[in-house]
Structure 1
């Protein structure tokens, strides 16, 4: 007579199960952030809802009595306008180019500030100087530096074959794009480097030493040890800078005013709302910009898949 034994099924560990400590830290985080969150919602909630409401109306500020509900027509007009897509192209180009360059240079500066020992505080203070300057002041400075009449850049670079004393940097798209991007990179790279420096400070030095003992090269240590352990800092730095660059306004408004197809979404919104007093159309563009920003934030959080409670279980 044969007997069959029934084996108890193995219990598989549940994935993504939070420990009690992680849950406690999450509750504490919500409690600490809730007052600021309530204030933020109270301050920004009404303008956002008002903009959404105005976007459904044909409404000019110079003729407030002649207000007509038009539904989604403002969104249709915006999305079918070639000017909108030209502005979107400029916005995306500036965002991708400046953030990519800032990430590289910001990481290099962060590495230098992290490794250097003697003048560490002085170096960090000097690096922050460009970021401490008001954006409008910075934009005017770069504009006057590259201007044909008041600039000195042409005199410094006249030894180059394609640069002359009367070269107009703001006379074409790509030259204007270069100056606008350069001013943005100079101004905000220190912010990127500070966020990355905070991530470097969280990397365990013993892990780097162990990798070097095992024969890993500097590049392997960087790719296999340093970058994976500062993934959260990289995500925060890229997210903050991408959202900020996507809303670029000051540099473009001061340097070109949107000429040569350099209009960004924010400049386009200003033109519709302030210059043409088209409150309904400007509100629709503002809502589109807001949705784009939300989409970018969701993509970054989803794409990086950072677990902020990792290592605390």
Structure 2
């Protein structure tokens, strides 16, 4: 085990009692990613003090805990994370926390029934963690957060139930809205080319073929073969636009664009998609619902523009 992880885990398990308590009765909650934190904020509101570790534009696949993250985790009463190895650099920390029995660390995506999960590779060795790109699947994560909050804070049961039902209704409305937006794109144009393979759940939900330069994790390297293959796909299908991502370097997608140009086809960069994080808290993509809506708007605009 790397020394950094060992030090973090030892501190997490030995600093009991060293935290500064919140005296107003609110739960201290840590979430890893924006989509997970958004669930907590919507359901719990002012009943919690929430810290989200991985902010806008930051890649959770390669994220490593900072010293301030360590102390936030040590002070937390509940930790919610995506799971399915999205936050690979934090997995050992969460395992150690659960083994200690002091602080529950809940992998919300693992509440989704296995038959609704997509495999990350042909060998079926792991699941694709990007489940939040389908609101129907993400509703299971919402219920997992609700149930954990009630278990730790039973006095908030009525509030948590009421807010959860409202949020689930919002997700149903969002899903219907996204389906209507996707229907504006001719079927032959519903090919989504992105930097890394984060949109398979989105594609399955809304009728897109999804292709990417990198694999499920951004820790994988983009190969020259992958760039050539995607370039051929783009040129052959006359795809009008391909997409960079807010938390991934644009270098590989720009390489596809340049390779297409070299053979006489001009493909546009259709905009930046929020693949692994939300947007700025004050912007239109600062919430889960807003992020999903903005992604679809970006895709529809780029793939319907002649």
Interval containing the TM-score (normalised by the shorter chain) = under 0.3
Q: Which has the higher strand share?
A: 2
Q: Which structure's CA Rg is the greater one?
A: 1
User: RCO greater where, 1 or 2, for CA within 8 Å and sep 6 or more?
Assistant: 1
Taking structure 2 as the reference length, what is the TM-score of the superposition?
0.22
Taking structure 1 as the reference length, what is the TM-score of the superposition?
0.21
Q: Which has the higher helix share?
A: 1
